[in-house]
């Protein structure tokens, strides 16, 4: 047992997943026996949920603590029944007239089973269909208590939350690591009702007015004729739209940056995007923008990694979130606000706060922390929770109000509307995951899937028959009486909405050289996939208005002339927009260890990785248990299954010969050609190319050389002392990647 609690938890999970003792209990699940080889013959009671899992809290359809478990209908009793509780002796054969006779229509069990199956799917979300979610808790620091009366933001109040992360364009089954915006939607079950903060990992949006939403999404989704490409923006209709509709330029350059391919949901910022209005106890108001800041830092994949992961592990982000929580390495974010005076013109330092294509740089308005969110439990059932959760920007609590951002106005309508078709009626708030933890006393009645049994006879007001209840609540939610600046009715927008290029330029100028290289590469890749020449040329005209270097490099990559066009003035860069150049915690990072002949050295180093709160995965030519003294050490990845994209750093305990035995020893049977197993050289050359820290001892240098890694390359450490090598690798990992491996011409 080691001292670091995260490492201890990681250890337990690794044991649970891989080192199962076939005769004993499953670690962490007392009383649960491992599955037997033969089909069990004795019925048994329900299994408890796994330690990392928690279902929705048990509240009734009217928001009262129900005392029963929300999983009341979960699978797990001893004997099979129909949906209505009648026990069944056989579910393997249809009811037939004779052994080879026809199946009978009267087989009610067959019909119930197949009919229910036929209706298992609901419409997927029209956007953000692919997602993963977790339960957690939000604890307020109390720092916002002077500016908002929201009870959940008062000091030390703890509020249960459910968070769903998502991609935008892809279908439910699409890959996690595509280049796209990520959704970051949080449901706060507050004592005053539900508050949903439905944000993204990019602080701006493609459009300024909700009426354009169907246009941008139709452009981004697969082409309607062949339904390709899936979950991609690299196609003609997307670039046709954004090159014509230049208010999308800011969001698009964020997508082309490293923000479009996060390393993990745990390593993303979240943004409320719009400006909101906070209301204090005394009625005073401020305007705010919400930010989530991940404790693990903001990190991204590199593009080739993201592409490989699409095939090697399409569930990479989903798996990473669930594994981290299961391991006890709970992801954390600080919620913060940028605050602005609530002036009549609703601008700050000349920036229109009602224009969702604009940010306010953090250097002008610092993000002030107001609380900490910790995700600490995985859902028990994907469909009941992650799929059925219904977010809505209109789920507001007293103390938080919306502004007149025309993008937000459309969302206030859309989210309620979409749930009705997705979840089959107006009572979706009664699904367990959506139930408020505050008493509900509405006068909404009946409808599809009504599960509340409303007592009383007078769901109307005024009434006298139910004693006049429900009464208006004097302390309830009030819209701020902000004076509306009147003007002519019309399909209008303020003049400031015409500035489409100054902030894309601000973003570009704020990036480090290597991040700029990635932006150039991303535009070049995406536009290379565009078929129509005119679309590429038009987009180059857009880039010319952001920056001549960006435009020139992309034009060169496409083999097209550089168009005329001049960028605007140089805004002061915002260093907060760059992800590179700081040091971050390494807890929860995944370290691959290629086993070598000295299994004891591997054991020691694996333990040291665990003690550092990271996740070690032992890689060897074949599965099984490594020899040596001490506890048996299970191989978690064979050479056949290990791929570099799964690891943040790799340690090499020797150069395994082709076809080596379980220890990687060189004296094994001959197999594949070359001095070092080609699967290991692929592992190392990819990791090197993706700027990952590498370390090795024994004859690891032979493996590095075989992988084409130049001696003395930055971020590649070898030596005789495995512990010192690990120390170097951890230092490099604190910077996320070894960026100096790729000196940029833009520096």
Helix ranges (DSSP H) in 33-175: 108-118
CB of residue 271 to ligand HDE, shortest distance in Å: 7
Q: Is 251 a catalytic residue?
A: no
Chain residues binding ligand HDE by CB under 6 A are 125-128, 131, 164, 166, 183, 185, 198-200, 205, 210, 213, 273, 389, 391, 407, 410-411, 414-415, 418-419
Please choose, from the candidates 386, 385, 379, 330, the residue with its C-alpha nearest in 3D space to the C-alpha of residue 50: 379
Q: Which is nearer to ligand HDE, 367 or 601 (CB)?
A: 367
CB of residue 274 to ligand HDE, shortest distance in Å: 7
The span from the CA of 577 to the CA of 202, in Å, is 11
Pairing verdict, β 649-652 and 590-594: parallel
Contact indicator for 424, 448 with CB cutoff of 8 Å: yes
First-residue to last-residue Cα distance in the chain: 47
Measured CA distances, 677 to 619, 621, 646, 665, 671 (Å): 13, 9, 19, 11, 9
Place of tokens 């994209």: 645
Q: Which is nearer to ligand HDE, 197 or 650 (CB)?
A: 197
CB of residue 185 to ligand HDE, shortest distance in Å: 4
Q: Is 484 exposed, middle or buried (0-12, 13-18, 19+ CB in 10 A)?
A: exposed
Place of tokens 């507001």: 396
Contact indicator for 654, 627 with CB cutoff of 8 Å: no
The span from the CA of 747 to the CA of 254, in Å, is 20
CB of residue 275 to ligand HDE, shortest distance in Å: 11
CB of residue 218 to ligand HDE, shortest distance in Å: 13
Q: Which is nearer to ligand HDE, 26 or 126 (CB)?
A: 126
CB of residue 67 to ligand HDE, shortest distance in Å: 29
The span from the CA of 656 to the CA of 702, in Å, is 9
Q: Which is nearer to ligand HDE, 250 or 516 (CB)?
A: 250
Coil, helix or strand at residue 240: helix
CB of residue 68 to ligand HDE, shortest distance in Å: 26
Measured CA distances, 632 to 25, 217, 650 (Å): 17, 53, 22
**Structure-block tokens of residue 83:** 């949906």
CB of residue 395 to ligand HDE, shortest distance in Å: 12
Please identify the residue of the shown chain whose CB is closest to the bound ligand HDE. 183
Q: Which is nearer to ligand HDE, 414 or 638 (CB)?
A: 414
Q: Which is nearer to ligand HDE, 373 or 590 (CB)?
A: 373
**Structure-block tokens of residue 225:** 């004729």
Q: Is 128 a catalytic residue?
A: yes
User: From the candidates 2, 4, 128, 736, which is the catalytic residue?
Assistant: 128
Strand partners, 138: 159, 373
DSSP 550-591: HHHHHHHHHT-PPPP------PPP-GGG---S-----TT-EE
CB of residue 389 to ligand HDE, shortest distance in Å: 6
Contact indicator for 523, 256 with CB cutoff of 8 Å: yes
Q: Which is nearer to ligand HDE, 205 or 507 (CB)?
A: 205
CB of residue 410 to ligand HDE, shortest distance in Å: 4
Contact indicator for 169, 180 with CB cutoff of 8 Å: yes
Q: Which is nearer to ligand HDE, 394 or 623 (CB)?
A: 394
Q: Which is nearer to ligand HDE, 183 or 695 (CB)?
A: 183
The span from the CA of 54 to the CA of 377, in Å, is 6
Phi then psi for 424, rounded to 5 degrees? 80, 30
Q: Is 478 exposed, middle or buried (0-12, 13-18, 19+ CB in 10 A)?
A: exposed
Q: Which is nearer to ligand HDE, 202 or 608 (CB)?
A: 202
Place of tokens 């070598």: 596
**Structure-block tokens of residue 75:** 């699978």
The span from the CA of 724 to the CA of 608, in Å, is 11
CB of residue 310 to ligand HDE, shortest distance in Å: 21
User: From the candidates 93, 156, 200, 392, which is the catalytic residue?
Assistant: 200
CB of residue 407 to ligand HDE, shortest distance in Å: 5
Q: Which is nearer to ligand HDE, 356 or 539 (CB)?
A: 356
Q: Which is nearer to ligand HDE, 373 or 602 (CB)?
A: 373
* Contacts of residue 440, Cβ cutoff 8 Å, sequence gap at least 6: 61, 62, 63, 429
Q: Is 20 exposed, middle or buried (0-12, 13-18, 19+ CB in 10 A)?
A: middle
The span from the CA of 67 to the CA of 76, in Å, is 20
The span from the CA of 329 to the CA of 612, in Å, is 12
Phi then psi for 589, rounded to 5 degrees? -75, 150
The span from the CA of 151 to the CA of 142, in Å, is 10
CB of residue 386 to ligand HDE, shortest distance in Å: 8
Q: Which is nearer to ligand HDE, 359 or 610 (CB)?
A: 359
Q: What is the 3-state secondary structure (H, E, C) of 160-226?
A: EEEEEEEECCCCCCCCCCCCCCEEEEEEEEECCEEEEEEEECCCCCCCCCHHHHHHHHHHHCCCCCC
Catalytic residues: 128, 200
């Amino acid at each position: 047992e080691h001292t670091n609690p995260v490492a201890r938890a990681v250890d337990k999970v690794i044991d649970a997943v891989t080192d199962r003792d076939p005769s004993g209990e499953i670690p962490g699940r007392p009383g649960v026996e491992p599955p037997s080889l033969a089909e069990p013959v004795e019925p048994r009671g329900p299994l408890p949920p796994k330690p990392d899992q928690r279902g929705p809290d048990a509240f009734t359809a009217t928001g009262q603590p129900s005392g029963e478990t929300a999983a009341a209908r979960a699978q797990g009793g001893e004997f099979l029944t129909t949906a209505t509780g009648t026990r069944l002796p056989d579910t393997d054969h249809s009811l037939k007239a004779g052994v080879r006779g026809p199946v009978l229509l009267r087989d009610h069990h067959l019909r119930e089973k197949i009919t229910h199956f036929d209706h298992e799917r609901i419409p997927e979300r029209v956007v953000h269909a692919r997602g993963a979610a977790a339960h957690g808790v939000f604890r307020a620091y109390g720092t916002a208590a002077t500016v908002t009366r929201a009870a959940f933001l008062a000091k030390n109040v703890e509020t249960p939350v459910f968070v769903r992360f998502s991609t935008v364009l892809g279908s439910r089954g699409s890959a996690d690591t595509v280049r796209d915006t990520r959704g970051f939607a949080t449901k706060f079950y507050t004592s005053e009702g539900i508050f949903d903060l439905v944000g993204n990992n990019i602080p701006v949006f493609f459009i300024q007015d909700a009426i354009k939403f169907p246009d941008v999404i139709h452009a981004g989704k697969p082409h309607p004729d062949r339904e390709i490409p899936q979950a991609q923006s690299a196609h003609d209709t997307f670039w046709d739209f954004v090159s014509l509709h230049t208010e999308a330029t800011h969001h698009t350059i964020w997508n082309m940056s490293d923000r479009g391919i996060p390393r993990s949901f745990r390593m993303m910022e979240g943004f409320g995007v719009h400006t909101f209005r906070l209301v204090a106890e005394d009625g005073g108001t401020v305007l705010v923008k919400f930010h989530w800041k991940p404790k693990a830092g903001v990190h991204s994949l590199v593009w080739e990694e993201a592409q490989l992961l699409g095939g090697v592990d399409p569930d990479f982000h989903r798996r990473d979130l669930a594994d981290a929580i299961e391991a006890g390495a709970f992801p954390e974010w600080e919620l913060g606000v940028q605050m602005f005076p609530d002036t009549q013109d609703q601008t700050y330092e000349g920036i229109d706060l009602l224009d969702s294509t604009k940010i306010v740089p953090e250097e002008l308005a610092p993000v002030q922390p107001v609380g900490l969110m910790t995700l600490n439990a995985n859902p028990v059932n994907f469909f009941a929770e992650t799929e059925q959760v219904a977010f809505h920007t209109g789920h507001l609590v007293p103390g938080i109000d919306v502004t007149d951002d025309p993008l937000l106005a459309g969302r206030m309508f859309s989210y309620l509307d979409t749930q009705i078709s997705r979840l089959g009626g107006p009572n979706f708030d009664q699904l367990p995951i959506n139930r408020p933890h505050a008493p509900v006393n509405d006068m909404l009645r009946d409808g599809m899937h009504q599960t509340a049994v409303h007592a009383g006879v007078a769901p109307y007001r005024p009434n006298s028959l139910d004693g006049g209840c429900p009464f208006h609540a004097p302390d309830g939610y009030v819209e701020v009486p902000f004076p509306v600046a009147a003007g002519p009715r019309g399909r209008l927008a303020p003049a400031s909405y015409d500035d489409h290029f100054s902030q894309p330029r601000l973003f570009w100028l704020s990036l480090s050289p290597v991040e700029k290289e990635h932006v150039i590469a991303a535009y070049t890749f995406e536009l290379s996939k565009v078929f129509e020449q005119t679309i590429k040329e038009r987009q180059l005209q857009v880039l010319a208005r952001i920056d001549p270097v960006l435009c020139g490099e992309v034009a060169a990559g496409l083999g097209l002339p550089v168009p005329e066009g001049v960028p605007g003035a140089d805004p002061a860069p915002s260093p907060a927009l760059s992800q590179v150049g700081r040091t971050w915690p390494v807890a929860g990072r995944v370290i691959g260890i290629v086993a070598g002949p000295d299994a004891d050295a591997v054991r020691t180093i694996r333990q040291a990785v665990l003690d550092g709160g990271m996740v070690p995965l032992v890689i060897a030519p074949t599965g099984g248990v490594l020899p040596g003294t001490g506890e048996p050490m299970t191989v978690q990845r064979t050479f056949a299954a290990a791929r570099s994209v799964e690891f943040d750093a790799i340690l090499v305990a020797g150069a395994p010969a082709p076809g080596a035995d379980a220890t990687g020893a060189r004296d094994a049977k001959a197999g594949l050609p070359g001095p070092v197993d080609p699967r290991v050289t692929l592992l190392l050359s990819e990791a090197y190319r993706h700027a990952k820290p590498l370390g090795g001892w024994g004859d690891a240098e032979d493996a590095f050389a075989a992988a084409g890694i130049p001696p003395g390359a930055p971020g590649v450490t070898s030596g005789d002392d495995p512990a010192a090598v690990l120390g170097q690798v951890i230092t490099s990992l604190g910077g996320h990647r070894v960026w100096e491996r790729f000196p940029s011409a833009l520096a």
